[in-house]
Amino acid sequence: MIRSATLDDVPEIRTMIRELAAYERAEEQARATAEQLREALFGEHPAAFALIAEDDDTGETVGYALWFPRFSTWTGTRGMHLEDLYVRPQARGSGHGKALLATLAATCRRSGYDRFEWWVLSWNTPAIDFYTSLGVELLDEWKVCRLSGGPLVELAAQAPRAGEPARGG
């Protein structure tokens, strides 16, 4: 069963985020707190939305998908960015991942979104094989750019103040 996440799901979502981070060999980077997730998913202005996959027989939470809307200047329309898709190891191969993606695809169609996009680690062959079996187009010519930590702070410090002209670069 696939359903929208509720406030009561936040602790389990946080646990699964850490499980996903461990699988992706980056557990130390998964620092989101339960309070941050509550605000992001259920605050006055949600930043993201989540779906929960439950085992049909036991009702146990076996996975989740977390997404947010994005905008394309090329199409002039909104789209969907899938931040996380995770199915617990014992439930993989049972159709939960496909059901989560199909539910998100249906949300895209209902919402008039033209694109449904996400990233996958280049070494995650099982995920890549799964995605390509669904007809996903892998965009090898694009690179993800990330600015964080010290470089983000340094660049932000160079921002012109309101009313000042931009310099250089």
Catalytic residue IDs:
131
In angstroms, rounded to a whole number, what is the distance separating the alpha carbons of residues 55 and 157?
49
In angstroms, rounded to a whole number, what is the distance separating the alpha carbons of residues 1 and 9?
15
Burial class (CB in 10 A: 0-12, 13-18, 19+), 146: exposed
Burial class (CB in 10 A: 0-12, 13-18, 19+), 30: middle
In angstroms, rounded to a whole number, what is the distance separating the alpha carbons of residues 129 and 95?
14
Structure tokens at 96: 């939960």
In angstroms, rounded to a whole number, what is the distance separating the alpha carbons of residues 62 and 70?
27
Please say whether the beta carbons of 95 and 60 come within 8 A.
no
